């Protein structure tokens, strides 16, 4: 009976994980509504969870358990019970408000409409903006609720700021294009949500308790005799030619341009930053031949004819190059030899044909459109004007506010014409630099609070000119690989050479310098953006690399052989941050992400992933050792690696669980639901369940065998990669912006 219960409990959990994994791919093809109705909202999916819960409860009490084990599993049951109650008893929908028209109609998610026992009247709707930009920082709705007794209650909602009314929560959802209406999400969940939150808090306490309980597995690992001896069983481990030059302004003039300010992607930044982004998108680097990024951008601005013939556009896709006779680096003219050569591919792409060629053509089309948009100066927002109490940056062709001073308007309209006449016709660099200086003074005078202070501008200049990630990933991977080779050699040979011990100190020194440089890089991004740098894929990948290095530095003095692990893993994460799909641009967060809970949620989960990456590398090294030699010494070494791996697994699982429920609380405060079966949520849950199984070695004896354990951890890490990379870049969902 006990064996049958165990098989049912773990077997159904495995089936649930498989169903959820498949569902994320089905969603990418069939849409969110399809998987919500046919899978996540189906009776059979709920039945699977019910069977898992009942079988788990019955099996749980067939053996002796510690108190923290009991509370941990009770927390999971409470969360499941809360989810069931939410699905059965909650009422969720939207209320649309218009000025001067009280509304008492609730449109449920099912599409049905019901009448509320109160009415809501919109009093005001406003949008706050980031200083000097048209990028929204918040959406704010003010309203009044009137019940049948004549009692009036005023309320305000905004992003990450909900309003509670007698157990009903209202959330900002959307607004009407004419700014005269607002839509609120209505969420009434009197049973399910309290149960779920109790489960979350009990889960938090239980996960922390798991790490500190004297009788817990983690504390037993810490008291293992091999740790007290410094893991002497593994003491042998090593720590472990150009064409004719195109016309452009001199570097001195281009540098002066670089110091001017421009509003781009929702923030005011140096022209230098925009030029580097422009050149990197076109060419793949921040310089082209002997030209700086600023020279490339002003070249396209003021010497377009010459630069149309420069092979500055990188064409990555070889098949597209062969089909259209393009070179790896092509000029703008090459795309217009006989009509627009990318036109048919782009049209097919937007009709749904998503082959590699079509996707590459669409990406190139975006870059070419970026060049073409320079003609009308559409994104050259370099002229701040204060109007109606707010500073907005305009380009020379924008329609200016009617209140704009006539002399000021004249300067804006003709500033670039004067630059062209002075720099191109007269070729007077001194006068041109003086004119650019006048534009910079104009920006300081009229930009107000939207102009970044001197410290921010200096930080951004340093950040732009030091290739932190490109340099660090090369250093970390190179040093890490050398140390790893020494590690494997010494493990196979069974001894260390005396000179190899010197690599310990040298390796720690390199790691410390790398950690300091990466910390400085992250601090610069924080200073520039004014927020924790955790808002997109590039920034979170830097955070994972930083966490890996922090863990390595903390533990390396006790476990010297972790050094090559930390160097390779941090180098790998920095390398991934440098790939083309990772966008390093610094932009303001969208309003829903502007929450302290975001920083906690992302930071905690990134630390969990960093620790899990160590378990993966422990597994890889163990499998390499067992594949080349099978003696008693090798068995001792892979057993020791299992011990270290489990030391990382316990806190990693605790952090992952805490990160998931903090994210759920954030989602509840942001858009009114704590779980929405978003692909990244689903894969994070798969991570949690899959790694939790690895701690059940008393129930699953095969996990006690080091080789089986290490193989399992290597396979499990593939789901972490799927959660981070797959869910971000290949699946659809709310988390794709992160």
In this predicted structure, the answer to whether residue 474 has a pLDDT above a threshold of 50 is: yes
And the tokens for 323? 């089909």
pLDDT confidence of residue 16: 95
Question: What is the C-alpha to C-alpha distance for residues 629 and 427, in angstroms, rounded to an integer?
Answer: 73
Q: What is the pLDDT of residue 351?
A: 64
Which letter does DSSP use for residue 263 in this model? E
Give the whole-angstrom CA distance, residue 605 versus residue 704. 27
Encoded tokens for 732:
């659809």
Residues 305-356: tens digit of each pLDDT: 889 899 999 998 888 898 888 999 999 999 888 788 888 888 787 666 767 7
Q: Is pLDDT larger for residue 690 or for residue 318?
A: 690
Burial of 701 (0-12, 13-18, 19+ CB in 10 A): exposed
Question: Cβ(515)–Cβ(553) under 8 Å?
Answer: yes
Domain boundaries, the chain: 2-63, 91-188, 251-448, 455-588, 600-738
Residue 21 has pLDDT above 90, yes or no: yes
pLDDT in tens, 499-552: 666 787 888 899 999 999 999 999 998 888 877 777 666 787 788 889 889 988
Average pLDDT of 668-677?
76
pLDDT at 243 over 60: no
- Burial (0-12, 13-18, 19+ Cβ within 10 Å), 590: middle
Q: Partners of 147 in the beta sheet?
A: 118
User: How many CA atoms lie less than 13 Å away from 561 in the CB half-sphere?
Assistant: 26
- pLDDT at residue 582, as a whole number: 45
pLDDT score, position 537 = 67
What is the predicted pLDDT for the residue at 270? 92
Query: For the chain, what is the total number of helices (H) and then of strands (E)?
Result: 26, 16
Confidence at 448, pLDDT banded by 50, 70, 90: confident
Mean pLDDT on 162-168: 88
Looking at residue 235, its pLDDT comes to: 36
Identify the residue whose tokens are 């720690």.
508
- What span, in angstroms and rounded, lies between the C-alpha atoms of 133 and 152? 37
Lowest-pLDDT range of 112-121, 156-165, 657-666, 725-734: 725-734
CA angle at residue 618 from 565 to 650, to 5 degrees? 105
Q: Output the pLDDT for position 133.
A: 57
pLDDT tens digits, residue range 67-125? 888 898 899 999 999 989 988 888 888 999 999 889 999 998 778 889 999 999 999 99
Nearest to 676 by CA among 87, 154, 208: 87
d(Cα 577, Cα 574) in Å, to the nearest integer?
Answer: 5
C-alpha radius of gyration, the chain, whole number: 30
Q: Which two tokens stand for residue 701?
A: 């004896």
**C-alpha to C-alpha distance for 697 and 695, rounded to whole angstroms:** 6
| Separation between Cα atoms, residue 552 and residue 570, nearest integer Å | 10
Q: Which tokens is 313 given?
A: 């556009």
Number of Cα atoms under 13 Å in the Cβ half of residue 436: 22
Per-residue pLDDT reduced to its tens digit, 699-733 = 889 999 999 999 999 999 999 988 877 666 666 55
Task: Answer for the pair 79, 688: CB distance below 8 angstroms, yes or no.
Answer: no
pLDDT, average across residues 569-596:
63
Q: d(Cα 327, Cα 334) in Å, to the nearest integer? A: 9
Cα separation of 291 and 657, whole Å?
Answer: 50
Comparing 430-434, 494-498, 566-570, the range with the smallest average pLDDT is 494-498
Q: What is the DSSP string of 606-633?
A: HHHHHHHHHHHHHHHHHHHHHHH--SHH
pLDDT for the residue numbered 421: 86
499-502 long-range contacts, CB within 8 A, separation 24+: 500/238
pLDDT of residue 737: 40
Residue pointed to by tokens 């009490």? 61
> CA torsion sign, 305 to 306 to 307 to 311?
positive
- Cβ(234)–Cβ(352) under 8 Å? no
Q: Which of 185, 146, 181, 144 is nearest to 162 (CA)?
A: 185
| pLDDT average, residue stretch 124-147 | 80
Q: What percent of the chain has pLDDT over 70?
A: 87
Predicted local distance difference test score (pLDDT) of residue 260:
92
What pLDDT digit, counting tens, does each position of 618-634 carry? 898 889 888 877 777 77
E strand or H helix that includes residue 120? strand 113-129
184, β-bridge pairs: 95, 172
The answer on pLDDT for 594 being more than 70 is: no
Name the strand (E) or helix (H) holding 543.
helix 537-555
Give me the half-sphere count of Cα atoms (radius 13 Å) on the Cβ side of residue 384: 29
Cα separation, 70 vs 277, in Å, equals: 54
Q: Lowest mean pLDDT of 250-264, 310-324, 337-351, 387-401, name the range.
A: 337-351
* CA distance to 273, 304, 502, 654, 660, per residue, from 262 (Å): 9, 20, 51, 44, 38
Question: How confident is the model at residue 231, as a pLDDT?
Answer: 45
The average pLDDT across 647-673 equals 84
Q: Which among 53, 59, 51 is positioned nearest to 75, based on CA atoms?
A: 53
Q: Which residue has the higher pLDDT, 538 or 237?
A: 538
Position 25 pLDDT exceeds 70: yes
- What torsion, rounded to 10 degrees, do the Cα atoms 466, 468, 474, 476 define? 140
Nearest Cα neighbor of 579 from 541, 612, 618, 549 is 541
Q: What pLDDT is attached to residue 648?
A: 84
Section 628-642 average pLDDT: 80
Average pLDDT, the chain: 83
DSSP character string of 510-538: HHHHHHHHHHHHHHHHHHHHTS-S-SSHH
Q: Which of 56-70, 296-310, 576-590 has the highest mean pLDDT?
A: 296-310
Task: Examine the pLDDT at 581 and tell me if it is beyond 70.
Answer: no
Most confident of 283-287, 354-358, 600-604: 283-287
């Amino acid at each position: 009976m006990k064996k049958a219960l165990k098989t049912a409990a773990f077997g159904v959990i495995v089936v649930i994980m498989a169903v959820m994994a498949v569902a994320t791919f089905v969603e990418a093809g069939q849409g969110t509504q399809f998987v919500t109705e046919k899978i996540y909202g189906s009776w059979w999916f709920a039945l699977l969870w019910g069977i898992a819960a009942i079988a788990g409860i019955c099996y749980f009490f067939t053996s002796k358990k510690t108190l923290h084990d009991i509370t941990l599993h009770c927390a999971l049951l409470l969360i499941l019970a809360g989810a069931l109650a939410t699905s059965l008893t909650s009422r969720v929908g939207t209320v649309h408000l218009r000025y001067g028209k009280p509304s008492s109609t609730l449109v449920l998610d099912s599409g049905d409409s019901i009448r509320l026992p109160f009415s809501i009247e919109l009093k005001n709707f406003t949008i706050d903006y980031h200083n000097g930009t048209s990028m929204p920082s918040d959406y704010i709705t003010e309203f009044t609720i009137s019940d049948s007794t004549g009692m009036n209650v005023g309320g305000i909602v905004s992003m990450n700021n909900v309003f509670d009314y007698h157990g009903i929560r209202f959330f900002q959802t959307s607004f009407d294009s004419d700014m005269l209406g607002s839509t609120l999400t209505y969420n009434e969940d009197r049973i399910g949500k309290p149960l779920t939150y109790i489960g979350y808090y009990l889960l938090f306490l239980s996960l922390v308790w798991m790490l500190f309980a004297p009788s817990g597995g983690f504390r037993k690992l810490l008291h293992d005799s091999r740790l007290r001896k410094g893991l002497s069983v593994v003491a042998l481990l090593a720590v472990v030619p150009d064409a004719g030059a195109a016309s452009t302004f001199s570097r001195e003039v281009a540098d002066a341009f670089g110091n001017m300010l421009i509003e781009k992607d929702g923030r005011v930044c140096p022209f230098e930053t925009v030029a580097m982004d422009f050149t990197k998108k076109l060419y793949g680097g921040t310089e082209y031949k002997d030209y700086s990024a600023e020279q490339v951008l002003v070249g396209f601005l003021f010497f377009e004819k010459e630069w149309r013939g420069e092979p500055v556009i990188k064409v990555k896709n070889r098949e597209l190059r062969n089909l259209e006779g393009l070179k790896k680096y092509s000029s703008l003219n090459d795309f217009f030899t006989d009509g627009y050569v990318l036109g048919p591919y782009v049209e097919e792409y937007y009709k749904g044909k998503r082959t590699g060629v079509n996707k590459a053509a669409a990406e190139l089309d975006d870059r070419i459109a970026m060049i073409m948009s320079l003609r009308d100066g559409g994104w050259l927002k370099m002229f701040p004007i204060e109007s109606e109490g707010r500073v907005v940056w305009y380009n020379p062709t924008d329609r200016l506010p009617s209140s704009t001073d006539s002399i000021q308007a004249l300067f804006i309209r003709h500033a670039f014409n004067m630059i062209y006449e002075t720099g191109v016709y007269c070729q007077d660099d001194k006068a041109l630099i003086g004119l650019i200086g006048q534009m910079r003074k104009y920006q300081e005078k009229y930009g107000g609070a939207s102009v970044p202070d001197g410290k921010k501008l200096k930080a951004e200049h340093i950040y732009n000119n030091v290739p932190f990630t490109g340099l660090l990933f090369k250093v970390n991977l190179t040093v890490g690989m050398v140390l790893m080779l020494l590690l494997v050699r010494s493990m196979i040979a069974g001894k260390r050479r005396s000179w190899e011990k010197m690599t310990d100190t040298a390796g720690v020194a390199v790691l410390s310098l790398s950690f300091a440089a990466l910390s400085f890089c992250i601090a610069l991004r924080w200073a520039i953006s004014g927020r924790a740098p955790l808002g997109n894929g590039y920034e979170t990948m830097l955070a994972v690399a930083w966490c890996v290095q922090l863990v390595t530095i903390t533990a390396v003095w006790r476990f010297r052989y972790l050094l090559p692990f930390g160097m390779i893993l941090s180098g790998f994460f920095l390398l991934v941050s440098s790939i083309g799909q990772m966008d390093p641009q610094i932009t303001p967060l969208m309003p829903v992400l502007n929450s302290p809970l975001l920083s906690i949620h992302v930071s905690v989960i990134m630390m969990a992933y960093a620790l899990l990456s160590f378990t993966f590398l422990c597994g890889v090294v163990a499998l390499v050792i067992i594949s080349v030699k099978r003696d008693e010494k090798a068995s001792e070494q892979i057993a020791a690696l299992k011990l270290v791996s489990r030391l990382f697994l316990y806190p990693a699982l605790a952090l992952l669980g805490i990160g998931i429920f903090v994210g759920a609380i954030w989602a509840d405060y942001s858009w009114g639901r704590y779980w929405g079966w978003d692909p990244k949520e689903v894969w994070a849950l798969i991570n949690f369940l899959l790694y939790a199984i690895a701690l059940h070695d008393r129930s699953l004896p095969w996990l006690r065998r080091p080789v089986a354990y290490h193989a399992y951890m290597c396979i499990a890490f593939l789901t972490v990669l799927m959660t981070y990379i797959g869910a971000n870049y290949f699946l659809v969902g709310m988390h794709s912006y992160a």
